Amino acid sequence: MRPTKTTRTRDLTRKTASRVLGLATSTLDVAVRNLDNARRIANFLRGRMELEVRPTDIFISSYPRSGTTLTQWILYLLTHEEQPDPAHLTKVSPWFERSLAIGEVTASDLERFPSPRVFKSHLPRQWLPDGARYIYVERDGLDVLVSYFHFYRAYLGFEGTLDDFYERFMNGRVQYGSWFEHVAEWHERASDPDVLIVHYEDLLSDRKAAIERIVGFLGWERDERWVDRAVIESSFDAMKRRESVFDHATALLLERGVRPQSFLRAGESGRGAGSLSDTQVREIRERSSTGRRLAIRGLASFLQ
């Protein structure tokens, strides 16, 4: 039976309504996301302005997958006596911008933390408050890319190939934006007396020298016992045995209904080159960035 004019009209109306509903839903999703971003930005900026910075405060910043957790743990070991069951790292060294943005803590809550307060961050220097000490952890971009790819697949539902992720990474279309710009912005502040750039590779190849350099920068007095314990307890094997203490992603994963996987992967450097093509390696090595001032609207990508 051929469809009647009435039937065709009804089908067309349904299709039109479906398209309109789809557009409306998409628009609503964008609006909700923008409102959530605005709320997070407002929470963060309020907390940042209300925080009374102490000269003993330390901000450990890095691009993701660059050694922030390792450096946090080293500073924990240098400021706490040995404990058989240490608290989760986020309880003593909170993720500064995200904790404020999602309302997990306020500036008043952070005021109750004893000195020296150690904060984790992925922020560029320009968005961190002044008056503290800043340690920037830098890792070889090849290793960052490959580690971030595995993180995306394990935690963020990414189903593409390494080549797909490479294109995202090179174009800065990942959480926290461009690795090239992030590193360049911190390098612009490298000569500031309150900034220390630490290379992840140094933390692996000569951890004791790297730790002594950190201690000297902070002006701390630590005898050989403290330094040696930090060296031993911050090895990859030692940290792997206590992984539940470090996996800062656990709370976020539970919020999203994602099953946690291994947070500490290999604890090595130099593996990235072997996973990428010669052309990709060359493009990363040859590319540079002068950095740029990020607008407030770009802040949302750091507060997820």
- Name the token pair of 23: 């557009």
In the numeric block, the tokens 């910075």 are attached to 53
- Name the token pair of 108: 């008043």
Measure Cα distances from 255 to 95, 110, 122, 251 in Å: 16, 23, 20, 6
**Residue 138: what are its φ and ψ, rounded to 5°?**
-115, 140
Residue of 80, 88, 122, 199 with catalytic role: 122
187 is a catalytic site residue: no
Closest to 65 in 3D by CA, of 155, 129, 134, 125: 155
**Residues 6 or more apart in contact with residue 31 via CB below 8 angstroms:** none
Alpha helix (H) ranges present in the chain?
A: 5-50, 68-79, 89-92, 96-101, 107-111, 141-155, 162-170, 179-187, 200-205, 207-218, 224-233, 236-240, 243-246, 249-256, 272-275, 278-286
Which residues are tagged catalytic?
Answer: 122
